[in-house]
Structure 1
Amino acid sequence: MAEIYGAPAPGVRMFGWAMLAAMAAFLANAILTFWFGFPGAGAALSGGGARAVLQVLLYAACIGGALVVVQRTGGRSLRTDAELVTAINALLVRAAFWVVLLVGVGDAAVSFLRVNGQLAQVAGETAAGILGRAETRGVCFHVPLVVLGILIGAVTRGIGFLWLSLLVVAAELLIVLSRFVFSYEQAFMADLVRFWYGALFLFASAYTLLEDGHVRVDLLYASLRRDRQGRVNAVGAVILGMLLCWTILVLGFASSSSVIVGPILVFEVTQSGFGMYVKYFMAGFLGVFAVTMMVQFVAQFFEAVADARGEAGARQTHAEMT
């Protein structure tokens, strides 16, 4: 693979994989801090105790492990790494698609039964009480669907989020038919459209970046040679792309009231009593956006450096084919 696609670049590979490892450690530390009561890695310098030190060591272990793997696979080329990182990202997006599909359909069904007074008849009084509260619906109903969605995403192939556009159209069509034909409309129907549309917009961003389908407002880039385009993309991936993703993650997980973690901790819902209980998921969409974009920016960084070095094997994007 290295002989076909170019010479190894250990320094570039170490930077990219260390960035992904640091993000994984950051997310793991966020889970430990907000859901398991750990003091946070920053508390290691202010008397946080052994658990805070453990969180610091988690960063060292993840980054160190990434560097060791890079060293042991020294013959791997940048384009090979880019393909691997893109495959990992495709897995993440597939899992996210199945999660929002299952949660959307399941929560809409529960809301439909609840608004029509049939939930207790179908599920029983106890289950109806559980599903009528945001916290218990999230833990007892949403979490199993999330796990199932991740498992399905792990064993399926294809870019699942492409189907979200069809689902959004179907949900909108359902609203039109039910409202103007049957004079029936409920809050959960509009919630489902917003839920799936938000997922479509944010989950598709990494795929758009992969295929170079985003809008470039420039006067020079299109006329540059591929090696110079590679330099531009490499710098942009680090300074603009990765920095933006880190900004979203750091601000989103800064405290228990931050824009991402805050709604998830309290299972935030909309004010409409019979709407869907998925508003906190939409806060999580922003985190998924930052993670998938970070992963794809690392893949783009590898590809861009390979282009800048004039290596063979450059992939042709949809934008270039059109």
Structure 2
Amino acid sequence: MADAEQPVVLRKYGRPAPLVRMTGWTILACLAAFLINNILNVGYGYAGVLDLLQGQGGTVALAVYAVLVAGAILFVLATRDVALRWDADRIHKFNLYLIRVCFWSVLLVGIADSLIAILRVEKGLDVFFSEDTVRSLGLSRYVGSYVHLPLIGLSFVIGLFTRTLGFTWLTLMIVASELLIVISRFVFSYEQALMGDLVRYWYAALFLFASAYTLYEEGHVRVDVLYAGFTNKTRGFVNAFGSLFLGAATAWVILYIGLNGKQSIINAPLMNFEITQTGGVGMFVKYQMAGFLGLFAITMLIQFVSYFFEAVADYRSEPGKRELAPVAH
């Protein structure tokens, strides 16, 4: 929606809720500060906020948090008349962009890396590249830096001009890859490690990146004992509470454990461009699959903030509630 339409949205979608908005936007500000500090710590050796307690620096990290949190609070104060559903919609659309970028990235990187891998295994790189380039294409750090990263950068541009999330197409590519494995194995008795790598790579992306959109569509499995009998107001309260203290909290745990220092389970593979035990005969994408966990937590945390805003709007019985498509049973 254009900014010129905002007054109409405000009248239609409810009363302002500055304290609720401040909570949600502060969470997003802390997320941005956490990711920035992770880059500063892992890439440039800056101390973290917790290092302040041990007298080992950390003032830069604290300043990043202070500036971004203050910015979030000032933003809310400057736009105090904005309704919750308006904010929820904007945050969701930004998250959709991130998910689109992720899907285009894994699609392009998967195709490019699998082609390089098959040429590497079948000794076909010599036909197209010089000896030095062929040697470099056997190194995961080189492929990650000069093949994967440019394709990921291109995905950010493609994501601006596309509106499809790519779920259907990525699922089709997974099915096609599985079919190719079956045909090549049982008809031609031919199989390479890269084939399984590609399927696992796309499978992981499909399920982890689609989770945030599934939350938006209420598609996750809900063990329903009491919820179906609740009023809309009670459902709003339950969803708001669950978004913050169950959903967002879980996402933060994943981020803290996965991005806690250079040797953490996400940072270490990313920094080292880690590959599978198959070595040079497989794809060089294992390090990205570790990063998928972080991206899952990031997109889910953003979506939980949007969901929190919508849930509070439901609790306040504000108009504009989304009508979800019926789920087939």
Bin the TM-score by the shorter chain: over 0.9
Task: Specify the alignment match of 1:18 in structure 2.
Answer: 26
Check the 8 A contact 1:175/1:185 in 2, yes or no: yes
Provide, for residues 219-244 of structure 1, a one-character-per-residue CA deviation record: whole Å limited to 9, x for no partner. 11011111111001000001100000
Distance 1:161 1:150, change over 3 A: farther
User: C-alpha displacement at 1:40, in angstroms?
Assistant: 2.2
Deviation of 1:29 after TM superposition, in Å, equals: 0.5
- Select 2:44's aligned residue among 6, 11, 36: 36
Per-residue deviation, 1:122: 1.4
Post-superposition CA distance 1:275-295 (Å, at most 9, x none)? 001111110000010000001
Q: Given the alignment, which residue of 191, 211, 225 partners 2:217?
A: 211
- With 102-111 and 121-130 compared, the bigger mean Cα shift is at 121-130
The letter of the residue matching 1:293 is M
8 Å contact 1:6–1:77 — kept in the other structure?
Answer: yes
User: What letter corresponds to residue 279 of structure 1 in structure 2?
Assistant: K
Deviates more, 1:56-65 or 1:171-180: 171-180
TM-score between both structures, scaled by the size of structure 2? 0.94
**Kept in 2: contact 1:108–1:276 (CA 8 A):** yes
Q: Which moved more, 1:301-310 or 1:145-154?
A: 145-154
- SS of equivalent to 1:35: helix
How far apart are the structure 2 equivalents of 1:163 and 1:61?
41
CA distance in 2, matches of 1:161, 1:89: 15
Aligned to 1:299: 306
Give the deviation of 1:144 after TM superposition.
Answer: 1.1
Pair 1:75 & 2:92 matched: no
2:248 alignment partner, one of 232, 242, 253: 242
> In structure 2, which of residues 289, 309, 315 is the aligned counterpart of residue 282 of structure 1?
289
SS at match of 1:318: coil
Separation in 2, partners of 1:257, 1:318: 44
Q: Is the 8 A contact 1:210 1:317 kept in 2?
A: no
Match of 1:173 in 2: 179
Residues 1-322 of structure 1 mapped to structure 2, 5 A cutoff: 1-49=9-57, 52-273=58-279, 274-319=281-326
- In the TM superposition, residue 45 of structure 1 has moved relative to its aligned partner by 4.2
What's the % identity of the aligned pairs? 50
Cα deviations across residues 85-139 of structure 1 (Å, max 9, x unaligned)? 1001000000000111111111100000000001122122121111101122211
Q: CA RMSD in A?
A: 1.4
Task: State how many pairs are aligned.
Answer: 320
Instruction: Quote how far apart the aligned CAs of 1:320 are.
Output: 6.2
Gaps in structure 1 of 5+ consecutive residues? none
CA distance in 2: counterparts of 1:55 and 1:128, whole angstroms: 41
TM-score, normalising length: structure 1: 0.96
Instruction: Specify every segment of 5 or more residues in structure 2 that has no aligned partner in the other structure, as ranges.
Output: 1-8
By how many angstroms is 1:164 displaced? 1.4
- 2:38–2:261 contact (8 Å) kept in structure 1: no
Residue by residue over 1:29-61, the C-alpha shift from the partner in whole angstroms, topping out at 9 and shown as x without a partner, is 101110122222323344444xx3122111111
> Which residue identity lines up with residue 276 of structure 1 in the other structure?
M
Instruction: Say which is worse superposed, 268-277 or 160-169, in terms of deviation.
Output: 160-169
> Can you list the C-alpha shifts for 1:292-316, whole angstroms capped at 9, x where unaligned?
0001100110000000000010001
One-letter identity of the residue aligned with 1:166: L
How far apart are the structure 2 equivalents of 1:320 and 1:174? 33
Q: Shift of the alpha carbon at 1:68? A: 1.0
